[in-house]
Structure 1
Amino acid sequence: MAYNFFVHNDLTFGKDAVQELPNILAGEGVKNVMIIYDEGVKVAGIAEKVVTQVEKADVEITIFDKVLPNPSNELVEEAAAIAQEKKIDGFVAVGGGSSIDLAKAVNVLMTNPGPIGQYGGIGLVKNKVHPLIAIPTTAGTSSEITNVTALTDTVAVCKYVVIDNKLVPSHVIADPEFTRTMPKSVTAATGMDAITHAVESYISNMATPLTEYNSIKGLQIFRENLPKAVADGNDMEARENMMLGCIITGFGFSNANLGLVHGIAHTLSAHFHLAHGMANATVLPYVIAYNAPSCPEKMVDLAKAINLPLTGNIEEDQYALAKELEALTKELGIKRLSEQGIKKEDFDMLADDVLKEPVLNFNPRQGITKEDVLAILEKAY
């Protein structure tokens, strides 16, 4: 059987990597740059460091600093209108998944007609896009190296994805120092997002030997380093390993896709504006337990990879990972649904919408019912 594994990144990794930004822009021949980031990146002083480097490239600079979590179609259209007016021919995205996803979507509309919503799905972007340099400030989403942008349709009240190889940033500047200022809660939530990517891509029904290595290696890195990074934000060895793990895992899940955890998380974020990482983390242990009977050998593989104690009885050992993830979410202070403003009377509506999520096609356990989703939400409550 033949396997396809798509990777397309020019990656600069390590301390002071941002100093390569002027050379990258010059190499791309960019003249009009839009720098995209959010208020948190600005307050942390990271935006200023990036702008200083862009200024060395002798380019015209436009700043868009209105990024919000779970970026909406309207926000994409607003930023794209400015970019078109300024004749932007290159982007620098600084921040977490929301900033990078917004930049990817805006970039699509520079060379493809709007509205952005028509590109929801796989492989629908027709024309090549402009250079995009992604500079992550979190270790979680892997958006900097994936072919996916996740957006919110505020009219349909749903979160959807545009998946196309043209979306992959042309360059990545990954400096672990830029993650140092992340609060504990954000470090925990984004780190659990990364663990979700590793686990879901490993058990995905689209996984191949080429993706499985990345997924399982990423899980090993995250399990060892995430608690350290949360406990001490200045532990730069842990921070660096987390960022490295996100890149490794991103190569895997952008090829293997994800599953039911993300289906539920997308719905929670669309309706209640939960941060993506927190939404994933809250339901992760219970979805993994639900999926275990459909892929027990893979569940044992993952448990062995992080040295969990096993009995040798696969009927019992298939649940070891789910139990470990539940313990980890408690250790890291991940909030339950009841602590995030979700009410039980919301469950029925949420479950209906989860079943509409295309990502469920890649989940290892098929035939998911409304009752299944309701049971998972109840356990996460």
Structure 2
Amino acid sequence: MAKEFFVKSNVVFGKNAAKALPEILKEYEANNVMVVYDAGVKMAGISEKVLAEIKKADVNVTIFDGVIPNPTNEVVEEAASIALQNKIDVFVAVGGGSSIDLTKAVNILMTNPGPIGQYGGIGLVKKGVLPLIAVPTTAGTSSEVTNVVALTDIKAVCKYVIIDNKLVPDKVIADPEFTKTMPAGVTAATGMDAITHAVESYISNMATPLTQYHSIKGLQIFHENLPKAVADGSNMDARENMMLGCIIAGFGFSNANLGLVHGIAHTLSAHFHLAHGMANATVLPYVMEYNADTCPEKMIELAKAIQLPVSGNPEEDKYSLSKELLRLTKELKIKTLSEQGIKEEDFDMIANDVLKEPVLNFNPKQGVTKDDVLAILKKAL
């Protein structure tokens, strides 16, 4: 049966990539540009560099620097109101997944009516959106090349996603130098986010040979380069490879979708405000162990792809990947659930909400039960 593989973004990759911004804005005949970023991007001096290039295009610039981790509906509505008042015609999102996702969501409301929460789901955005240029400063979320927006509904206490091909950024300015200022902990968490994307999309029940090609290549790149980048943030070869791997993995998971790891991570972030990458990394080894019985061949393929030793006994080798992921999380000092303030008495509530996550539909092992989730959480405690 025929399968669709959707790729949209035009990527400018490498050092000084931001210098392409003035010509891109002129190409769009931009008049009013909104630049979106958070306090961290400003403190690192990255926003200043991006704004300097944008101003060369002789456009009106509106700044929204109120991005928060796990952006909420309320922040989206606030930014959209400012964008509408200033008649924004092009967006530039500078930062990690939170900044880029928030900008994608604001872009929806430029041409579609609010509130933003009504677009949760797949393919619910009716009208096309405005040009969006993504300038990633982390290597992990792949939001710069995907059709996904992750938002937090603080009233319903849940994290939800909007998935629509209209939302993929039109242009990507990918300069590895912009990731150089990431602290080791953020580098580790966002890198494990990318590994999660690669692994979950490879074993997804929506995976195709084309998505799996990108997923496995992304895993290989991150497995080799993430420890190097965490150990030495100034290692620009590792930084560049991570940014490349993030884009490659993004092409895979935006077409194949994700699974139970993200279902648990969404719930942890909604209730306890955990950083998305950290939430993924904490439970990733245990979910892969849980899924191994359903897709042993794929687990062994992934293990071989990163040159893990295999015995030739499938019953043993199907767990090679989950064991390596556990080793890697310990090497990178990924915090356990208890170290992040989560207690066992929280598990019942967490498990109930995880079972409501639509992303479970793409997990290779179907029929996930509450007891299954509780067992995974106990291992991650």
The aligned residue for residue 250 of structure 2 is 250
The structural deviation recorded for 1:373 is 0.2
The structural deviation recorded for 1:202 is 0.0
Instruction: String of CA shifts for 1:339-362, please: whole Å, max 9, x gaps.
Output: 001011100000000000000000
Q: Determine the C-alpha separation between the residues in 2 that align with 1:22 and 1:257.
A: 34
Instruction: String of CA shifts for 1:106-140, please: whole Å, max 9, x gaps.
Output: 00000000000000000000101000000000000
Matches of residues 314-329 of structure 1 in structure 2 within 5 Å?
Answer: 314-329=314-329
The aligned residue for residue 79 of structure 1 is 79
Aligned residue identity for 2:218: G
Q: Determine the C-alpha separation between the residues in 1 that align with 2:68 and 2:2.
A: 41
Matches of residues 200-239 of structure 1 in structure 2 within 5 Å?
Answer: 200-239=200-239
Q: Determine the C-alpha separation between the residues in 2 that align with 1:367 and 1:10.
A: 39
The aligned residue for residue 376 of structure 1 is 376
The aligned residue for residue 140 of structure 2 is 140
Matches of residues 73-222 of structure 1 in structure 2 within 5 Å?
Answer: 73-222=73-222
Pair 1:359 & 2:359 matched: yes
**TM-score calculated relative to the size of structure 2:** 1.00
Q: Determine the C-alpha separation between the residues in 2 that align with 1:120 and 1:283.
A: 25
The aligned residue for residue 58 of structure 1 is 58
Q: Determine the C-alpha separation between the residues in 2 that align with 1:31 and 1:363.
A: 44
The aligned residue for residue 47 of structure 1 is 47
The aligned residue for residue 277 of structure 1 is 277
Q: Determine the C-alpha separation between the residues in 2 that align with 1:248 and 1:171.
A: 15
Q: Determine the C-alpha separation between the residues in 2 that align with 1:28 and 1:237.
A: 33
Aligned residue identity for 2:225: N
**TM-score calculated relative to the size of structure 1:** 1.00
Q: Determine the C-alpha separation between the residues in 2 that align with 1:295 and 1:104.
A: 34
Aligned residue identity for 1:152: T
Instruction: String of CA shifts for 1:253-301, please: whole Å, max 9, x gaps.
Output: 0000000000000000000000000000000000000000000000000
Q: Determine the C-alpha separation between the residues in 2 that align with 1:307 and 1:170.
A: 36
The structural deviation recorded for 1:30 is 1.2
Aligned residue identity for 2:189: A
The aligned residue for residue 38 of structure 2 is 38
Pair 1:313 & 2:307 matched: no
The aligned residue for residue 25 of structure 2 is 25
Q: Determine the C-alpha separation between the residues in 2 that align with 1:68 and 1:95.
A: 11
Aligned residue identity for 1:135: V
Q: Give the unaligned 5+ runs of structure 2.
A: none
Q: Determine the C-alpha separation between the residues in 1 that align with 2:271 and 2:138.
A: 24
Name the % identity: 77
Q: Secondary structure at the match of 2:172?
A: strand
The structural deviation recorded for 1:230 is 0.3
The aligned residue for residue 303 of structure 2 is 303
Instruction: String of CA shifts for 1:305-350, please: whole Å, max 9, x gaps.
Output: 0000101000110000000000000000000000001011100000
Segments ≥4 residues shifted beyond 4 Å: none
Aligned residue identity for 2:145: I
Q: Give the unaligned 5+ runs of structure 1.
A: none
CA contact (8 A) 1:3 1:210 kept: no
Aligned residue identity for 1:75: V
Q: Determine the C-alpha separation between the residues in 2 that align with 1:83 and 1:91.
A: 9
Q: Determine the C-alpha separation between the residues in 2 that align with 1:256 and 1:102.
A: 23
Instruction: String of CA shifts for 1:42-93, please: whole Å, max 9, x gaps.
Output: 0000000001011011110000001000000000000000000001111000
Q: Secondary structure at the match of 2:63?
A: strand
Q: Determine the C-alpha separation between the residues in 2 that align with 1:29 and 1:344.
A: 55
The structural deviation recorded for 1:2 is 1.2
